[in-house]
A and B are shown apart, each in its own frame.
Chain A
């Protein structure tokens, strides 16, 4: 990680970085060749989900376009997070949870028997509501994913850690304390570290479950800026309870709500964010959005 030529240090670094970015960009597009750029990345077809007797979601049909941010909004308890967790099968961890219908990633049903969940979760990364770094060093947090897949080479790990932290716009702040505990970072830094940790696994999709709900406005701003940058290269789905945030960062929005108490959550409206926020089709969406904005 120590560069021998200090004079042109920043310049070479920047140019090398952009080259690498370009590299990974072409690599990614190459990988995606079989599916067309215009096809959605994740599609669900009449997806329903229940916890034991309780039905949380019903008849969800949405399409998440690639290289964009899709927001899932709705009143609390409507099943937003449950829906998000269907996309990387984190719901599997909840005992008694059952999913019916289809969830497809690049046209492949992720709930098909024999589907590789481990690989799925490496392709579809997730950032949680509260920053949840491991009680390890900053470096070890980011290196966690690569090490899992067997990367032992120091050089390569160093590179991945640096790149990921840069992508997460955290490098400048932590480069001096890579060996310090991640627990000593501020909340906003911890959340960006969690994003870097996900990026180090080289995912294609990133799920964000109310990533800013535990952060102050300044830290929130930084995370939102970061999301806008990452949008160029990743497909992102963000659950948020904050209307303004959905309007600011997302390209598409799904509005989920529960009609009456005890009923499952349903998607009321799904579409272009600008359109939905200025011209909602469904009056329930309008009521919810205006109620929140007013």
Chain B
């Protein structure tokens, strides 16, 4: 009796220790939220709604004298993300369909490995590639500096490709084989089967793939910073230099103090909220699936 009690006691201790390790993730999220919020408070207090304007004129020697509107960079983040998804999502979903449905089985494995490889390439390397090849190319073709939303969108498209391809592939793979058979047996062509039976059935999974890809694009820092031009201006043209929230943070964080630094944290907070919104979206989309 006593022996089993001892073992039970030990079990309880171990259980608690393991639980503590599992809850570190909760603490981490709370700590991150807390710190980013706390650090951005001074800027929110002193700047107020100015933060949501396009007026960005930091003052390095006297930070509190500057103005720190982030709208231009939020605009940059949104435009580059949309641009990246406009290129990356169709390419990614199309590639997933190609790998699952059309490519001969022999090369399926090679393609899958290639996609995993692409996912592993560090973002500084993709950025360096964009900086040395893509930007000069765009500059030559358009007669501009080459930096800007277009270059960032292309780089982002490459960066979200693995996420979109892999998750879309999973969504397509999880469909029962019978679905495809039923459609083909009715005389549907392969394209009709893909278009009318497979894609609709996998649409939630593909939506999740695109949303998660978007999350990556919003948060991507180094690669974007290297090609977006980092101008502190609002830009709508594809080849005008501008900044994103992430590129601004990484560029200015080193030499900022006081309200200037706090304003960068406020940008981080906006970034965080955007991404949290997407994660919530994914939760909603995949929860609906379970009910149905």
**Nearest chain B CB to A236 CB, angstrom units:** 15
Give the number of residues in A that approach B within 8 Å (Cβ atoms). Answer: 30
Encoded as 1 (CB less than 8 Å from any B CB) or 0, chain A from 108 to 152 comes to 000000000011111101101010111110000000110111000
B185 and chain A: residue at smallest CB distance = A126
Cβ 8 A contact of B178, one of A88, A123, A132, A145? A132
Instruction: Find out whether the CB atom of A90 lies under 8 angstroms from the CB atom of B185.
Output: yes
Instruction: Find out whether the CB atom of A132 lies under 8 angstroms from the CB atom of B176.
Output: yes
Encoded as 1 (CB less than 8 Å from any A CB) or 0, chain B from 69 to 106 comes to 00000000000000000000000000000000000110
Residues of B within 8 A of A1 (CB): none
For window 156-205 of A, CB contacts with B under 8 Å fall at: 181, 183, 194, 197-198, 201
Interface check A95, CB cutoff 8 A: yes
For window 175-208 of B, CB contacts with A under 8 Å fall at: 176, 178-179, 181-189, 192, 196-197, 200-201
**Nearest chain B CB to A168 CB, angstrom units:** 14
Instruction: Find out whether the CB atom of A135 lies under 8 angstroms from the CB atom of B186.
Output: no
Interface check A2, CB cutoff 8 A: no
Interface check B292, CB cutoff 8 A: yes
A118 and chain B: residue at smallest CB distance = B187
Residues of B within 8 A of A95 (CB): 104-105
Residues of A within 8 A of B176 (CB): 132
CA gap between A123 and B178 in the complex, in Å: 20
Interface check A218, CB cutoff 8 A: no
**Nearest chain B CB to A137 CB, angstrom units:** 11
CA gap between A201 and B192 in the complex, in Å: 15
Cβ 8 A contact of A121, one of B179, B185, B197, B201? B185
Residues of A within 8 A of B186 (CB): 121-122, 125-126, 144-145, 148, 197-198, 201
Contact size class for B?
20 to 34
**Nearest chain A CB to B200 CB, angstrom units:** 7
Question: How many A-B contacts at CB < 8 Å in the complex?
Answer: 70
Residues of A within 8 A of B179 (CB): 132, 134-135
Encoded as 1 (CB less than 8 Å from any A CB) or 0, chain B from 258 to 292 comes to 00000000000000000000000000000000001
CA gap between A201 and B176 in the complex, in Å: 23
**Nearest chain B CB to A139 CB, angstrom units:** 14
Instruction: Find out whether the CB atom of B201 lies under 8 angstroms from the CB atom of A134.
Output: yes
Instruction: Find out whether the CB atom of A135 lies under 8 angstroms from the CB atom of B201.
Output: yes
Cβ 8 A contact of A136, one of B188, B189, B200? B200
A120 and chain B: residue at smallest CB distance = B187
Instruction: Find out whether the CB atom of B189 lies under 8 angstroms from the CB atom of A118.
Output: yes
Interface check A93, CB cutoff 8 A: yes
**Nearest chain B CB to A165 CB, angstrom units:** 16
Residues of A within 8 A of B292 (CB): 181, 183
Instruction: Find out whether the CB atom of A90 lies under 8 angstroms from the CB atom of B197.
Output: no
A95, A122, A148, most chain B CB atoms within 10 A? A148
Query: Can you list 11 contacts pairing A with B, beta carbon distance less than 8 Å?
Result: A121-B188, A123-B187, A130-B178, A133-B182, A134-B197, A135-B179, A135-B200, A144-B183, A145-B186, A148-B187, A198-B185
Given contacts A118-B189, A148-B186, A197-B182, 20 further A-B contacts (CB under 8 A): A88-B185, A90-B181, A118-B187, A118-B188, A121-B185, A128-B181, A132-B178, A132-B181, A134-B179, A135-B179, A135-B200, A136-B200, A144-B196, A144-B197, A145-B186, A147-B196, A148-B188, A181-B292, A194-B182, A201-B187
Residue positions of B touching A, CB distance < 8 A? 104-105, 176, 178-179, 181-189, 192, 196-197, 200-201, 292
Residue positions of A touching B, CB distance < 8 A? 88, 90, 93, 95, 118-123, 125-126, 128, 130, 132-136, 144-145, 147-149, 181, 183, 194, 197-198, 201
10 nearest interchain CB pairs? A122-B187, A132-B178, A121-B187, A126-B185, A132-B182, A145-B186, A118-B187, A135-B201, A148-B188, A148-B192
